[in-house]
């Protein structure tokens, strides 16, 4: 079972702490919280739960397609981005998959679930964990599927669209499919510079994965979707997908959320401001090395031997330990960008961290 952030109730039980007293920096959720109109629409949707959702999810798909600027035939949905990832793998049944490392652990979990083989391409700390042209050299006739997370989780590194296109061209020669996870890209102010959704028109080996629940602060209501121009791929994925995977409450929330332009713009601006402030303040701490962020989370490395997660937990702050990521040691951590008050609390507490001499 993969280890994830946001498990405050489990942490509370383990350490005998009231989970309501924990400030959760381990999950990368919109710090502005749930939009009121979205919440109201989900509450109103409770009046509809006595009937099944529309099994075709026409309204939901139509709304998302308008938001993304794609055709209705190009979308498939699932109960969170994680289910979408698993459905892709179960449908395509890849024997060997190429993954950059470190990256989101759910890709490997999905591949292992069908007994597939994983080939890692190690991202280098000295290169700021950026993916480079050497990755493309690893694409050959043995690779059936490639996952790229953009921006990457947990490193926060953005991948240029022109690089993605080079990967797609090389993969196309061997019939290799490419899954590009853009779940955090909505937090990027100029996401159009990095999103590869428009490339689906030219590459039928491309599949985009998205999640809106992080941006709209409703991860407890699971919904995700995939985008592709390849009808055969979508048909295969739909065959392995569970009927009625998305509930009415989630569907109504998303349909309302993507229309909330003021909330969307406010979120992007707020996250950008707080990200820059938090990055600057973290850089002032001499016991960590901070990696430049692009979205609503920041990865850093402790330069001294300390279990920082447990140290901060004693002060009621939960951060994400990255030691379980392939390619990272126990010295690596990730923190979410939260509200100004919470970010100030994190910095204040980290300034008090002491080390044994």
Overall average pLDDT of the 56-65 stretch: 96
Sequential DSSP letters for 316-332? TEE-EE-TTSTT--TTE
Q: Under a CB-based contact definition with an 8 Å cutoff, are residues 45 and 59 in contact?
A: no
pLDDT at residue 144 in the model: 98
The answer to whether the peptide bond before residue 154 is cis (omega within 30 degrees of 0) is: yes
177: β partners: 145
CB 156 within 8 A of CB 293: yes
- Residue 324 pLDDT exceeds 70: yes
Rounded to two decimals, the pTM is 0.93
| Contact indicator for 119, 96 with CB cutoff of 8 Å | yes
Q: What is the mean pLDDT of residues 23-51?
A: 95
% of the chain exceeding 70 in pLDDT = 93
Between CA 353 and CA 306 the distance in angstroms is 10
User: Which sequence spans correspond to the domains of the chain?
Assistant: 8-34+261-350, 36-257
- Beta strand residue intervals within 200-324, DSSP E: 206-211, 224-227, 288-290, 297-302, 317-318, 320-321
Q: Which CATH number fits domain 8-34+261-350: 3.40.50.720, 3.90.1150.10, 1.10.10.10, 3.80.30.20?
A: 3.90.1150.10
Q: DSSP state, 96?
A: E
Each residue of 251-308: pLDDT tens digit? 999 999 999 999 999 999 999 999 999 999 999 999 999 999 999 999 999 999 899 9
pLDDT of residue 354: 78
pLDDT of 7: 64
Interatomic CA distance for residues 103 and 152, integer angstroms:
6
Tens of pLDDT, residues 206-245: 999 999 889 999 999 999 999 999 999 999 999 999 999 9
Q: Count CB-CB contacts under 10 A for residue 304.
A: 12
Given pLDDT bands bounded at 50, 70 and 90, which one contains residue 22?
confident
Helix (H, G, I), strand (E, B) or coil at 315: coil
Task: Give dist(CA 13, CA 205) in Å, integer.
Answer: 45
Report the CATH fold assignment for 36-257.
Answer: 3.40.640
């Amino acid at each position: 079972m993969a280890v994830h952030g946001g498990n405050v109730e489990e942490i509370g039980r383990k350490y005998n702490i009231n989970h309501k007293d924990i400030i959760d920096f381990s999950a990368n959720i919109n710090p502005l919280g749930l939009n009121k109109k979205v919440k109201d629409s989900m509450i109103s949707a409770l009046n509809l739960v006595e009937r099944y959702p529309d099994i075709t999810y026409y309204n939901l798909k139509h709304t998302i397609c308008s938001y993304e600027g794609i055709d209705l035939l190009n979308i498939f949905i699932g109960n969170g981005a994680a289910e979408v990832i698993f459905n892709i793998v179960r449908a395509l049944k890849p024997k060997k998959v190429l993954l950059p490392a470190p990256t989101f652990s759910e890709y490997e979990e999905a591949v292992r679930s069908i007994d597939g083989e994983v080939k890692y391409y190690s991202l280098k700390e000295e290169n700021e964990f950026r993916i480079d042209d050497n990755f493309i050299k690893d694409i050959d006739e043995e690779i059936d599927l490639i996952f790229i997370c953009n921006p990457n989780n947990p490193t926060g590194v953005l991948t240029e669209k022109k690089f993605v296109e080079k990967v797609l061209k090389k993969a196309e020669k061997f019939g290799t499919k490419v899954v590009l996870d853009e779940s955090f890209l909505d937090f990027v102010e100029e996401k159009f510079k990095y999103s590869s959704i428009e490339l689906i028109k030219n590459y039928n080996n491309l599949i985009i994965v998205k999640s809106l629940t992080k941006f709209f602060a409703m991860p407890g209501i699971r919904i995700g979707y995939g985008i592709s121009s390849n009808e055969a791929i979508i048909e295969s994925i739909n065959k392995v997908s569970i009927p009625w995977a998305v509930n009415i409450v989630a569907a109504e929330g998303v349909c309302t959320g993507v229309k909330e332009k003021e909330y969307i713009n406010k979120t992007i601006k707020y996250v950008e401001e707080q990200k820059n402030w938090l990055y600057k303040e973290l850089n002032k701490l001499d016991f960590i090395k901070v990696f430049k962020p692009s979205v609503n989370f920041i990865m850093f490395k402790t330069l001294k031997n300390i279990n920082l997660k447990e140290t901060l937990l004693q002060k009621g702050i939960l951060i994400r330990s990255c030691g379980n990521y392939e390619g990272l040691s126990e010295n690596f951590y990730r923190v979410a960008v939260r509200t100004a008050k919470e970010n100030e609390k994190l910095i204040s507490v980290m300034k008090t961290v002491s080390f044994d001499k």
